Amino acid sequence: MIELIPAIDLIDGKCVRLSQGDYAQKKVYDERPEEVAKAFEGAGVRRLHVVDLDGAKAQHIVNWRTLERIATQTSLEIDFGGGLKSDEDLKVAFECGAKMVTGGSIAVKNPQAFSNWLQKYGADRIILGADVRDGKLAISGWQEVTETELLPFLSEYAAKGVTKTICTDIGKDGMLQGPSVDLYTKILSAMPDLYVIASGGVSSVDDIVALEEAKVPAVIFGKAIYEGRIRLEDFKRFL
């Protein structure tokens, strides 16, 4: 059964969604993310993906107080990402209640630091973020596209001990046009032991079913919930 991971993206402590990573296309859905998280928990999910979009821009953790409120008011397992660049950032994230953290930009820009985190905290707590636009990795809140190719990047880190990756197709994110099933199938074909978490484009329950049929282990989705295309009661089918 595919693992469902609802997403909460944060700007100014509010629950927002972007389209294709464009900060200019921001829509605020709720000013109390902790209440959104409680609703997800009430629907039966156990895991939550929280992204500090302010942090991604600022290159350091920003919305730690909101993370703390979500963590103290729910029992959800939170994976937290966005702007984590230093040991101090990780310390704050874990102290504020994150069970796992996601590092994407730092894994590209400072692979030694990311590898050190992996050794220090273990593969269960460090998730590799792989945000992709046209097959190339994008970093710094998706503001910068690199020349780094996705599959060699994932393969290199899998060899270093990474077991989980969140792979986001930026072109699909927030567009509600369906996920990149072919992309995830290609990753799993090359690295069948990697726990691939699909992200971007989910618009309906049928999209989740398509990912499940493709043997994708987990899926992150947010806008489809906030726009009413996936209802909380739909979660039961997968739990």
| Contact criterion met (CB below 8 Å) for 17 and 23 | no
Whole-angstrom Cα distance, residue 25 to residue 53?
13
Half-sphere exposure of 92 (CA within 13 A, CB side): 19
Counting DSSP H helices and E strands in the chain, the numbers are 10, 12
Domain count, the chain: 1
> Residues 201-226: pLDDT tens digits?
999 999 999 999 999 999 999 999 99
Nearest to 164 by CA among 201, 139, 198, 212: 198
What is the average pLDDT across 71-80? 98
What's the mean per-residue pLDDT of the chain? 94
Q: Catalytic pick from 131, 169, 173, 207?
A: 131
Nearest to 77 by CA among 149, 166, 4: 4
- Measured CA to CA in angstroms, residue 198 lies from 38, 132, 194, 204, 224 at distances of 23, 12, 12, 14, 14
On the 0-12 / 13-18 / 19+ scale of CB atoms within 10 A, 5 is buried
Q: Which domain holds residue 61?
A: 3-238
Q: Does residue 146 carry a pLDDT above 90?
A: no
DSSP assignment, residue 31? S
Nearest to 66 by CA among 46, 87, 82, 88: 82
Q: Which two tokens stand for residue 73?
A: 């008011």
The answer to whether residue 87 is catalytic is no
**Which CATH number belongs to the domain containing residue 32 in this structure?**
3.20.20.70
Q: Which two tokens stand for residue 126?
A: 């460090």
The answer to whether residue 206 is catalytic is no
The pLDDT value given to residue 81: 95
> Residues 29-54: pLDDT tens digits?
999 999 999 999 999 999 999 999 99
Give all strands (DSSP E) within the chain, no chain letters: 3-11, 14-19, 22-30, 47-52, 77-81, 100-103, 126-133, 136-139, 144-149, 164-169, 195-199, 218-221
- Which amino acid is it at 137? L
